[in-house]
Amino acid sequence: MIHIHRRRFMAEAMAAGLTLGEARGQTLNLLPDVPTIPNRLKGSGQLRVANSGGALAEAERKAVYEPFQNLTGIEIIETEGFAIPKIKAQVETRNIEWDTATLGYGNSLVLLQDGDYLEPIDYSLIDAPGLQDQYRHKYSVSYVTVATVMTYRTDAFATAPVTWADYWDLKRFPGPRNYMSGSQGIGVDLWPALLADGVPMDKLYPLDVKRAFRALDRIKDSIVTYWATGAQSAELMADNQTVLGTAWNGRIGPLLQRKLPVGVSWHGANFVYDDHIVLRGTPNIANAMKFVAFCCIPEVQARLAMLIDYGFTNMDAAHFLPPERLRMLPSAHLAEGFFADQIWERDNRKRVTQAWAEWILS
């Protein structure tokens, strides 16, 4: 078990004269070892993985891909970036370029609604008692918990904003804001507007779309950027282009690590899962299922949680993380936010996306 908090170690190492790269290299040595795996997860050949790129993909390389290759004998061929249309095209033409991909659970529901694009997960390979039922889906397995949170510049306000109502309060908290674009194809964030307008978290769904856009109207002139990537949301805050914003919590973690004047509020956070899926018809289905099972091992999930501020889904991973690290993850803040209703989001995505397109041009 690890006994040194990663961020504290990084700060102490850099204070001792190490560069960020050297400090990060030493941090990698603190990751928990993955135990000997059962023979059923071993194999040969290759596995083609499509991931989301960016900070999460960088963490996955060290936390997951390298030990998977070393322990299973299966080589990973990595592709950054994925899109639902590409998955559909590959399956429909039987020209499979990715064996497995990582995407939000809501996106996997969209795929299932549109057709027979995914293989059912082989749970006979998964030995993970700590993996709760809510993360076990027929056609995907959730492996990280991601939060969309409110972020702010700590040097912009005498009192820190806490709630989404604060984000909407232009008098107490003036200044330029950023907001996630609703044109990315991954859904529209209407829930902050409803929380700011007084809707309780447990009464959010079904979302009152018209009410949400009326609330957004009140702050539209103060939203200077609608970000399209997680990296962009972090840059807007790091460069002081905006004083309030929305962000995926894993993108803000590196800013906190650099001790930039950026803060996070977990109040009213929106929690979602990222899942592993296997493309229907892949010739590497056996290796793909072994990879999915490997990602459920608690030590593997703990390694990933040490390198990026996303929560685990196998609760046994907590045994391999220090308490200070646990407090930085979404897993420690679930009571402060809510889980999105992915069924509602799927069923209403086209309608809401069209409403966003009309609103943004109005």
- Tell me, yes or no, whether 111 lies in a domain: yes
| H/E segment holding residue 6 | helix 6-15
The Cβ of residue 220 has, within 10 Å, a number of other Cβ atoms equal to 14
Q: Are residues 208 and 134 in the same domain?
A: no
* pLDDT of amino acid 81: 77
In degrees and rounded to multiples of 5, residue 150 shows phi and psi of: -85, 135
- Tell me, yes or no, whether 105 lies in a domain: yes
Q: Are residues 196 and 236 in the same domain?
A: yes
Q: Are residues 42 and 191 in the same domain?
A: no
pLDDT tens digit sequence for 22-69: 444 444 667 999 989 999 999 999 999 999 887 789 999 999 999 999
* Positions in the chain short of pLDDT 70: 1-29
pLDDT tens digit sequence for 322-340: 998 998 899 889 899 999 9
Answering whether pTM is above 0.85, one says no
* pLDDT of amino acid 5: 37
Count of domains forming the chain: 2
- Tell me, yes or no, whether 121 lies in a domain: yes
Q: Are residues 27 and 140 in the same domain?
A: yes
CATH number for the domain that contains residue 172: 3.40.190.10
Q: Are residues 213 and 352 in the same domain?
A: yes
Q: Are residues 189 and 116 in the same domain?
A: no
In degrees and rounded to multiples of 5, residue 112 shows phi and psi of: -65, -35
186: containing domain: 146-272+341-360
SS3 per residue for 81-134: CCCHHHHHHHHHHCCCCCCEEEEEHHHHHHHHHHCCCECCCCHHHCCCCCECHH
Give the C-alpha separation, 309 to 297, whole Å. 18
- Tell me, yes or no, whether 1 lies in a domain: no
- Tell me, yes or no, whether 220 lies in a domain: yes
